[in-house]
Amino acid sequence: MIEHELKITFCTAPLSEWEKPYQLLYEEAVAAASKAYAPYSHFQVGAAVLLANGEMVSASNQENAAYPSGLCAERVALFYAGAKYPEVAVTAIAIVAFSNGKIVEGISPCGGCRQVMLETEKRAGAPVKVFLCGSTSMLLINCASDLLPICFDGCDL
């Protein structure tokens, strides 16, 4: 038997220490969360996507009375970016969540969103930085594939 080890590195820093475009991405994600349609969970999520052309697109979670028909903020934003700018790479995504009016510290994307981030990364052939937003700081994971090791992707088909 061979034991293998997986290792990822990530960075954390106060909001003010990140470069301006990433601070703007944070603000865009927060603004998007305020537009969430989350009447069932009352958990409001915002995701803002930065594209290689400098554009930003953002979205929020969209729930449905038939629960599985709803969609997470990250996927709404990434699918929108892919539909609107099919030829442009996504370079970063910022994710924020609010519960009871307060930012959730340590928000982390669900498995389905990780899978879609991974596809976004593979589609462009370039890493997607993932910013997890807290109330006064952000945590950066360098690429989506770090969030989903030993993944299923197009190469498996």
Q: Give the residue numbers marked as catalytic.
A: 74
- DSSP H helices, 34-155, are 73-84, 111-124
C-alpha distances (whole Å) from 122 to each of 24, 91, 119, 135, 144 are 25, 12, 5, 31, 10
- Sketch the per residue contact string, 92 through 131, with ligand THU: x for CB under 6 A, - otherwise: -----------------xx--x------------------
Residue 74 binds ligand THU (CB under 6 A) = yes
Check binding of 38 to ligand THU (CB under 6 A). yes
3-class DSSP state for residue 146? helix
Under the binding rule (CB under 6 A), the answer on residue 72 touching ligand THU is yes
Using alpha carbons only, what angle is made at residue 90 by residues 87 and 93, rounded to the nearest 5 degrees? 155
Closer by beta carbon to ligand THU, 41 or else 53: 41
Judged by beta carbon, residue 68 or residue 125, the one nearer ligand THU is 68
By CB under 6 A, residue 63 contacts ligand THU: yes
Q: Name 134's Cβ contacts closer than 8 Å, sequence gap at least 6.
A: 103, 105, 106, 107
| Nearest residue (CB) to ligand THU, 61 versus 115 | 61
Q: Alpha helix locations (H) across 34-156?
A: 73-84, 111-124
User: CB 20 → ligand THU: shortest distance, Å?
Assistant: 26
Neighbours of 32 (CB within 10 A): 27
Which spans of this chain sit near ligand THU (rule: CB under 6 A)?
A: 38, 41, 43, 45, 61, 63, 70, 72-74, 109-110, 113
